A and B are shown apart, each in its own frame.
Chain A
């Protein structure tokens, strides 16, 4: 990768870098590192309002993505998932913290310096209608990134055909306009366009939320196939509000609530034995296609409070069924348990007293959090 990462230069990875969790394939430089990243956005005042309120879109988030890893980010609307993706692509200025890609600090890199970086991280958006130019044919949509990559004019057609095959479209779709395709086919074009740059990281922002279940499953399968097929393996940061979908596509999952990470862990244990009550609530909300299972449990009343005035202490405490006094006043640190799972909760679920005794505050913990460890296990264990 050629680069002129300006204003920062290469920064030697320091201790706090792999805080998010043990990245598989340790030893190498992680692909993407977010360190204590905060994004506070100034709201514009509307007509007749005073405006100027600060939205804490992202608050002291530390996450690491290893080469070829798939990390799912899950949470409700307004949790900061999209902001996180935009930070990773440096589409937003950071209020605090740093972003490194392939070991290089890009926190303050100029647009020019970001060009080669962005080629290696490509985005797929929720709404393919809004992200594909309606006046261009699929072949034109795909040719632009191919030329940017330096593919010779005579080779472009062949590359387009193989890209379309890669995402499960036929060669004749090259001549279609986006409106002639179904929603699922359009999303495939969106993925093909991202792949055209041969990225090492795909940033997927709710890529299946607006699709039918049947089409959603096809896209999820396509992403899994791509990860198996592509060499070197493609890393993914996959954002969604549905934990069942996130689990299907992710090696690890990060759960976000109101701009903070509340739990990180390998996908399977996180869904089987969630530590954080919020994770538990997200799991309970997933409907099962089984009439005898009854209704999904709506454990959470209402919606997340406004990020302009996040609650003190644990941000989840006003909606948490297990909250106690301490939750309202003391911000829980991200605690790392012996099996590598990480959660920020004073009363974690599914851990034993022994595990709590051996737990430590994670280096990914927000700087503002207290050092207070959970006192005793609460939830059922095992």
Chain B
């Protein structure tokens, strides 16, 4: 099934895409046809990213965050995937674009870095050669120039002794170094948007801190925008300008990072915050975490999708809840019907935010 052309649905609550947005996603829907039926992985997601902005997409496994990121990169084009909505990059539509046009954008202007560098790097090609190959695919430079660019990219990504590492094979590098090599590969053509899908999940905390610091430094220096996908609100807190919280294929809360962390509106966001073991707070007897597991996307529940796991659910939650601004901040949207006062009192568990 091919990607349907841009058909933004009227009435879908779309945050103002803003002028000069680098990336505008409108009412993105991704369905996968599987053996057991149709999985609605992404169900009407809209957001935009401005140049140089870091947007974090946060949620549990299977919430559609990776499917959203991959669709933006044009990487969900298998036969069993069905896409609709609109993904525009610098004003040009990507969703129905030809493979050739996509190839010109991908790697050069939109780069991707994934959780597992071993699956993204070619195991039988030297790291430097892989980077040089990508540079030459997008820019008319000589082999020697491309190789020099590869070394520079490795240095930029914080790889020590980049000349030496450029001649290494991926398996000769440690986990953290591989992650840096992949970031170097992603950055080699100076992209305007970096899509980083769980870039630190498989790493030790110490290496994770290094990679997060590196991303912050690169973003500062290169001015690129970042779409950061993670299951851990802790990891994105220091980096993100804005946060999008996804649950069961939908955005259930979005807003400026500070608002989402300090004044979270949706109980699911409270639960994600409560799940984090905090070293800077007193140790609770139990973490105020989320009970149960996410619903199957084969048959998502009607009404609020989080209802079945939510201890605060009430009668009205059985009918669909719209994503809209419910606080005084126009850009802070959520899908929870509790009143502002109820939210403020119910989200505090043992002196911290939790569920």
| Residues on A facing B (Cβ under 8 Å) | 76-77, 182-185, 212-218, 220-221, 224-225, 241-245, 247-248, 267-268, 271, 281-303
Extra contacts besides A267-B283, A298-B213 (18): CB < 8 Å: A76-B204, A77-B204, A213-B233, A214-B275, A217-B274, A217-B277, A221-B287, A242-B277, A244-B276, A247-B283, A268-B283, A286-B234, A287-B212, A288-B280, A292-B258, A296-B209, A297-B209, A301-B210
Is B278 at the interface (CB under 8 A from chain A)? yes
B177 to chain A minimum Cβ distance, whole angstroms, is: 8
Contact of B291 among A218, A245, A285, A289 (CB under 8 A): A218
B235 to chain A minimum Cβ distance, whole angstroms, is: 5
Task: Name the 9 nearest CB pairs between A and B, nearest first.
Answer: A217-B289, A217-B275, A295-B238, A285-B209, A244-B277, A287-B234, A298-B209, A217-B287, A244-B279
Q: Give me 29 A-to-B residue pairs in the complex whose CB atoms sit less than 8 angstroms apart, sorted by A's number.
A: A76-B207, A182-B61, A183-B61, A184-B293, A214-B271, A215-B60, A217-B287, A217-B290, A218-B290, A220-B287, A221-B289, A241-B205, A244-B276, A244-B277, A245-B277, A247-B277, A248-B283, A248-B287, A267-B283, A268-B283, A287-B238, A289-B261, A290-B261, A293-B237, A293-B238, A295-B213, A296-B213, A297-B209, A302-B176
- A contact residues around B258 at 8 Å (CB): 291-292
Is B232 at the interface (CB under 8 A from chain A)? yes
Is B87 at the interface (CB under 8 A from chain A)? no
- B contact residues around A241 at 8 Å (CB): 204-206
> Are B272 and A214 in contact, with the CB atoms below 8 A?
yes
> Are A214 and B289 in contact, with the CB atoms below 8 A?
yes
B21 to chain A minimum Cβ distance, whole angstroms, is: 22
> Are A244 and B275 in contact, with the CB atoms below 8 A?
no
By beta carbon, the residue of chain B nearest A300 is B206
> Are B175 and A291 in contact, with the CB atoms below 8 A?
no
With A212-B60, A221-B286, A221-B289 known as contacts, the answer to whether A289 contacts B234 (CB < 8 A) is yes
By beta carbon, the residue of chain A nearest B280 is A288
Per-position binary interface string of chain B over residues 216-231, scored 1 when its CB falls under 8 Å from any chain A CB and 0 otherwise: 1000000000000001
> Are B261 and A213 in contact, with the CB atoms below 8 A?
no
Contact of B238 among A76, A218, A294 (CB under 8 A): A294
Is B339 at the interface (CB under 8 A from chain A)? no
By beta carbon, the residue of chain B nearest A319 is B206
B254 to chain A minimum Cβ distance, whole angstroms, is: 15
Is B111 at the interface (CB under 8 A from chain A)? no
With A285-B205, A301-B210 known as contacts, the answer to whether A243 contacts B238 (CB < 8 A) is no
> Are B277 and A291 in contact, with the CB atoms below 8 A?
no
Interface centre among B174, B240, B262, B276 (most CB of A within 10 A): B276
- A contact residues around B289 at 8 Å (CB): 214, 217-218, 221
Q: How far is the CA of A182 from the CA of B234 in the complex (A)?
A: 23
- A contact residues around B175 at 8 Å (CB): 77
- A contact residues around B261 at 8 Å (CB): 289-291
Is B285 at the interface (CB under 8 A from chain A)? yes
- B contact residues around A299 at 8 Å (CB): 209
Interface centre among A245, A290, A301 (most CB of B within 10 A): A290
A205 to chain B minimum Cβ distance, whole angstroms, is: 15
> Are A289 and B273 in contact, with the CB atoms below 8 A?
yes
> Are B237 and A288 in contact, with the CB atoms below 8 A?
yes
- A contact residues around B61 at 8 Å (CB): 182-183, 212
